[in-house]
Amino acid sequence: MKAAAFLKSLWTTDPQRVARQYLWGGFLFLLVGGLLAMLIRFQWAWPGQPVPGLAWALPESKGALTPPAYTAVFTMHGLLMIFFAVTPLLFGALGHFVLPLAIGAKQMAFPRLSPFGFWAYAVGGALMLVSFVVRLGPASAGWTSYPPLATPAFTPGLGQTLVTVAVLCVGVSAFLYGLNFVVTVVRCRAPGMTWGRLPLVVWGLFYGAVLNVLFVPVLAAATGLLLLDRVAGTQFF
C-alpha cells in the first residue's frame, strides 16, 4: 500500500504537491549550479591552480580547470541556473502554489498537465546530469548554445546533444504550465474575483505565462532544428 501510495503521489494533480515537486527540483539544480559557480570563482581567484577535491574528475590536469573544462563549467552553470533552477522555482513552484489560492480556484484548469509538465522538466534535468559523465564531457557552446558553435562541427560529442534534448524537455514543461496558468486565470476565478481585483502576483504570473505560451514554441522550434543538425545530419544552421 505504501509503495502504491508513493507511486500515486509522483503523478499527483494537486497543484500544491506539484509546486513542492518543482520546489525540490529547483533547489537541487540550484545547488548543482551553485557548485559550478564556485568552480568558476575559484578559477578567477587562482587561475590554473588545482581545485581541492576535483582531481578524480580531472585527472589529466590534476584537478585544475583547463580552458575546455572551464568553458563546459560556465556553459552548464548558465543552463542549469536559467532553465532548471530560477524559472521552475519562480513559475513551476510559486505559480502552482499561489495561483489557485489567490484566485479562489479549487484546481488548475487542466489538472493532468501539471504532473506531465513536471516530469518533462525532471527528464530534462536527468539528461543534464547525465551529460556530465559522457565521453567528451557536457555542453560547452555557451549557455545560449547559439549555432554554429553548438553544431557538431564545433562542439562534438554526446554531451551537447543531451543538453539540447534537455532544453526541449524544459521548453515543453514551460509551455504546459504557461498554458495551464493562462486558462486557469481566465476561466477558473472565483465568483466576484474580477480582473480589477486580481493580486499583483497573479498579474505577474499571468503575463509571464502568456510570454511562455507565445515564445517558448519559437525556442523549441529552433532547438529542434539544432537537434536535427546534430543527430540527422541536416544543415539548417
> Domains in the chain: how many in total?
1
* 13, 16, 21, 27 alpha-carbon torsion, rounded to 10°: 160
- Whether residue 118 is contained in a domain is answered as yes
- Whether residue 6 is contained in a domain is answered as no
Give the integer Cα–Cα distance in Å for 103 and 186. Answer: 10
Give 181-203 pLDDT, tens digit per residue: 999 999 999 999 999 999 999 99
pLDDT at residue number 6: 65
Let me know: does 112 contact 13? Beta carbons within 8 Å: yes
Q: By residue range, what is the domain housing residue 195?
A: 11-231
pLDDT at residue number 55: 87
Give the integer Cα–Cα distance in Å for 160 and 158. Answer: 6
- Residue 140 has phi, psi (to 5 degrees) of -145, 30
pLDDT at residue number 3: 61
**Can you give the pTM of this predicted structure?**
0.92
Give the integer Cα–Cα distance in Å for 99 and 201. Answer: 8
- Whether residue 3 is contained in a domain is answered as no
pLDDT at residue number 189: 95
- Whether residue 237 is contained in a domain is answered as no
pLDDT at residue number 4: 62
- Whether residue 208 is contained in a domain is answered as yes
- Whether residue 15 is contained in a domain is answered as yes
Give the integer Cα–Cα distance in Å for 44 and 48. Answer: 9
For 192, counting Cβ atoms within 10 Å of its Cβ (0-12 exposed, 13-18 middle, 19+ buried), the class is: exposed
- Whether residue 4 is contained in a domain is answered as no
pLDDT at residue number 7: 65
The residue whose grid cell reads 563549467 is 73
- Whether residue 236 is contained in a domain is answered as no
The CATH number given to whatever domain includes residue 179 is: 1.20.210.10
* 90, 219, 175, 8 alpha-carbon torsion, rounded to 10°: -80
pLDDT at residue number 11: 82
Give me the tens of pLDDT residue by residue for the chain, a chain 237 residues long: 466 666 667 789 999 999 999 999 999 999 999 999 999 999 999 998 999 988 888 888 888 999 999 999 999 999 999 999 999 999 999 999 999 999 999 899 999 999 999 999 999 999 999 999 999 889 999 999 999 999 999 999 999 999 999 999 999 999 999 999 999 999 999 999 999 999 999 999 999 999 999 999 999 999 999 999 999 988 998
Let me know: does 229 contact 237? Beta carbons within 8 Å: yes
Number of Cβ within a 10 Å radius of residue 100? 23
